[in-house]
A = this chain, B = another copy of it.
Amino acid sequence: MSYTAHLAAIGSAFLAARQRSSTLIPVRDGLGQLLAEDAHSKVDLPIFRNSQMDGFAVDVASVARVPAELTVTAVLAAGWSGSAEHVPGAAERIMTGAAMPVGADTVIPIEDTEPADVDGRIVVRSSRPVGAFVREAGSDIAKGSTVVPAGTYLAPRHLAAMACAGIESILVRPQLSVAVVTTGAELVAPGEQIGPGQIYDGNLVGLASCLIRDGARVAHAERSPDHPAELRKILDRIVGDVDLIVTSGGISAGDFEVVRETLSDGTFRHVAMQPGGPQGIAVYEGTPVLCFPGNPVSTLVSYEVFARAVIREDAGLPAKARTTSRLTQPLTSLAGKRQFFRGKLGDTGVTPVAGPGSHLVAAMASADCLIDIPEDNTDIDEGAEVSTWPL
């Protein structure tokens, strides 16, 4: 089976994961979420007619001729909970954002005034037209109107606007909730004591961090013992809780293949690619399961080439742009296999990092891209143009 055919098969498995009902969350948790329905303003914005400047609320008639001397009858601060009547011919000292006194129709900025000789009076030096520096109620948005439309991936400005509109909770499509299960009797958690034949498990943190980086929520992450009954116990515990399960290991042609045995209704194939030949797709109790091979490099590359694009798309993150680059050295690739070499981009082009071996995980740490070599290319010259995928 070709890489592209398996990729297409994964795409359809994902359709199931997309059927998610929306959840109510506080606006403050909404960053990056997909708004599931229009958010309507609970209030007019501005809520009340208010001043745009620190200055004096007046009626235009009394400052028609300047300089004009007016009595200051009140001081109106933002947040003051009373409502004021404007005294015609007088002025109210008003702060930015404070409610306009009823009857006042313009604001004279403080810098256009000065204290008069008589205490409690000011001199207005220049006039303003009706409505100057007055923010009318509802001039930004009217109560009940849509502040942010459904289908928006929420950025800070959307959250701020919804909060200003009095909206506390919103319906969003929940993040894709994923479980990561790594398998392999030989796996030991980093930091634990290691015995003969055992290795440290890099796949749990590798897959979980890939998913988080690409906008998914990792609801479970654990190592499974290498027995179908144990793996089934783990799957039964997590399956109701997640939209997708990703496994590593246990799917190739060996005698002990725990994922393959447990998910016996799944489709397990050898895909014509390297690394990452063994691949599987299954459904467990209605939840799609992506089964990747267990070699750390195979696991990470499988995620990058099969899962990353669809996970990012689901989260509303932009696709990582693939580029082309020139090889700084010749490459030999296996005939009939799509090969994903690890590479490092530089000013002169892309240089393969270490060999193609799927155990070279330390070498992969120093790579920053995959070099994608099609099935029918076997000898690629130095300077040849190749497709590179950012890591």
Contact = CB atoms under 8 A, between A and B. Distances in A.
Interface of A: 27-28, 30-32, 41, 43, 45-48, 50, 52, 54, 75, 77-83, 93, 95-99, 110, 135, 139-141, 145, 147-148, 155-169, 184-187, 189-191, 194-210, 212-213, 226, 252-256, 294-296, 299-300, 354, 357-365, 367, 391
B28 A208 contact: yes
B168 A77 contact: no
Given A48-B196, A140-B354, A161-B361, 8 more contacts: A45-B361, A81-B197, A81-B198, A83-B196, A139-B360, A147-B362, A156-B300, A163-B206
Contacts of A354: 140
B205 A163 contact: yes
Contacts of A95: 254-256
Assembly stoichiometry (copies): 2
Given A165-B362, A166-B190, A203 B54 contact: no
26 contacts: A27-B205, A43-B194, A45-B361, A45-B362, A47-B194, A54-B252, A79-B184, A80-B185, A80-B186, A81-B197, A95-B254, A140-B359, A155-B213, A156-B206, A156-B213, A157-B364, A160-B296, A160-B300, A161-B202, A161-B361, A163-B201, A163-B205, A165-B202, A165-B362, A166-B190, A166-B191
Dominant SS among interface residues on chain A? loop
A79 B197 contact: yes
A362 B191 contact: no
A77 B256 contact: yes
B213 A164 contact: no
A293 to B, nearest CB: 9
Given A140-B362, A141-B362, A210 B161 contact: no
Contacts of A197: 48, 78-83, 98-99
B362 A41 contact: yes
Given A96-B254, A196-B83, A363-B140, A190 B213 contact: no
B78 A202 contact: no
Contact of A186 (B78, B83, B357): B78
Contacts of A41: 362
B191 A169 contact: yes
A256 B93 CA distance: 12
Contacts of A208: 28
Contact of A365 (B31, B48, B52, B147): B147
Contact of A362 (B161, B189, B201, B209): B161
Contact of A163 (B97, B162, B185, B204): B204
Nearest to A95: B254
A189 B205 CA distance: 38
Contact of A184 (B30, B78, B206): B78
A354 to B, nearest CB: 8
Contacts of A391: 155, 157
Contacts of A83: 196-197
B97 A294 contact: yes
Nearest to A225: B79
Given A196-B48, A252-B96, A203 B160 contact: yes
